[in-house]
Protein backbone atom coordinates (compact mmCIF):
# COMPACT_ATOMS: atom_id res chain seq x y z
CA UNK A 1 0.00 0.00 0.00
CA UNK A 2 1.20 3.45 -0.78
CA UNK A 3 1.31 6.15 1.84
CA UNK A 4 -1.09 8.36 -0.14
CA UNK A 5 -3.90 5.81 0.19
CA UNK A 6 -6.34 6.26 3.02
CA UNK A 7 -9.98 5.40 3.53
CA UNK A 8 -11.09 9.00 4.08
CA UNK A 9 -9.83 10.18 0.70
CA UNK A 10 -11.46 7.23 -1.09
CA UNK A 11 -14.80 7.88 0.64
CA UNK A 12 -14.56 11.59 -0.22
CA UNK A 13 -14.01 10.72 -3.89
CA UNK A 14 -17.08 8.46 -3.82
CA UNK A 15 -19.28 11.17 -2.31
CA UNK A 16 -18.28 13.64 -5.04
CA UNK A 17 -19.26 11.26 -7.87
CA UNK A 18 -22.52 11.82 -9.68
CA UNK A 19 -25.42 9.56 -8.87
CA UNK A 20 -27.59 8.30 -11.73
CA UNK A 21 -31.25 7.22 -11.74
CA UNK A 22 -31.71 4.50 -14.36
CA UNK A 23 -35.24 3.43 -15.39
CA UNK A 24 -36.11 0.49 -17.61
CA UNK A 25 -38.49 1.80 -20.29
CA UNK A 26 -38.63 -1.15 -22.70
CA UNK A 27 -38.46 -4.89 -22.10
CA UNK A 28 -35.34 -6.91 -22.80
CA UNK A 29 -37.42 -9.68 -24.41
CA UNK A 30 -36.20 -10.22 -27.96
CA UNK A 31 -32.83 -8.59 -27.25
CA UNK A 32 -29.56 -10.50 -27.37
CA UNK A 33 -28.67 -12.47 -24.23
CA UNK A 34 -25.75 -10.13 -23.42
CA UNK A 35 -28.08 -7.13 -23.29
CA UNK A 36 -30.50 -8.97 -20.99
CA UNK A 37 -27.58 -9.88 -18.73
CA UNK A 38 -26.47 -6.25 -18.70
CA UNK A 39 -29.96 -5.19 -17.58
CA UNK A 40 -29.82 -7.77 -14.79
CA UNK A 41 -26.35 -6.51 -13.83
CA UNK A 42 -27.76 -3.00 -13.45
CA UNK A 43 -30.59 -4.40 -11.32
CA UNK A 44 -33.30 -3.69 -13.88
CA UNK A 45 -35.62 -6.71 -13.91
CA UNK A 46 -39.03 -5.16 -14.67
CA UNK A 47 -40.27 -2.42 -16.95
CA UNK A 48 -40.72 0.78 -14.94
CA UNK A 49 -38.22 -0.20 -12.25
CA UNK A 50 -35.77 2.53 -11.26
CA UNK A 51 -32.37 1.97 -9.67
CA UNK A 52 -29.81 4.44 -8.35
CA UNK A 53 -26.15 3.84 -9.23
CA UNK A 54 -22.93 5.80 -8.73
CA UNK A 55 -21.48 7.08 -11.97
CA UNK A 56 -18.42 5.01 -12.86
CA UNK A 57 -16.75 3.81 -16.06
CA UNK A 58 -18.21 0.32 -15.66
CA UNK A 59 -21.75 1.64 -15.18
CA UNK A 60 -21.28 4.01 -18.14
CA UNK A 61 -20.29 1.05 -20.32
CA UNK A 62 -23.34 -0.94 -19.22
CA UNK A 63 -25.60 2.05 -19.91
CA UNK A 64 -24.12 2.44 -23.39
CA UNK A 65 -24.96 -1.20 -24.25
CA UNK A 66 -28.67 -0.87 -23.38
CA UNK A 67 -29.32 2.84 -23.93
CA UNK A 68 -32.19 2.06 -26.31
CA UNK A 69 -34.06 0.31 -23.45
CA UNK A 70 -33.48 2.69 -20.54
CA UNK A 71 -33.78 6.31 -19.44
CA UNK A 72 -30.95 7.89 -17.46
CA UNK A 73 -31.20 10.98 -15.24
CA UNK A 74 -28.88 12.56 -12.72
CA UNK A 75 -30.19 11.95 -9.22
CA UNK A 76 -31.69 15.10 -7.75
CA UNK A 77 -32.65 16.63 -11.10
First CA to last CA distance, the chain: 38
Which CATH superfamily does the domain covering 18-74 fall into?
A: Ribosomal protein L30/L7 (3.30.1390.20)
Tell whether the torsion through CA atoms of 22, 24, 25 and 31 is positive or negative.
Answer: positive
pTM above 0.85, yes or no: no
Measured between alpha carbons, how far is residue 46 from residues 18, 27, 67 in Å?
Answer: 24, 7, 16
Confidence of residue 65 (pLDDT cuts 50, 70, 90): very high
Domain ranges of the chain: 18-74
Strands 50-54 and 19-24: antiparallel
Over residues 32-41, the mean pLDDT reads 97
Strand 19-24 and strand 70-74: the pairing is antiparallel
Amino acid sequence: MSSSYNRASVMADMSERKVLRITLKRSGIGCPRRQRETLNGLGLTRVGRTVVRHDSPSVQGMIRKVLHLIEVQEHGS
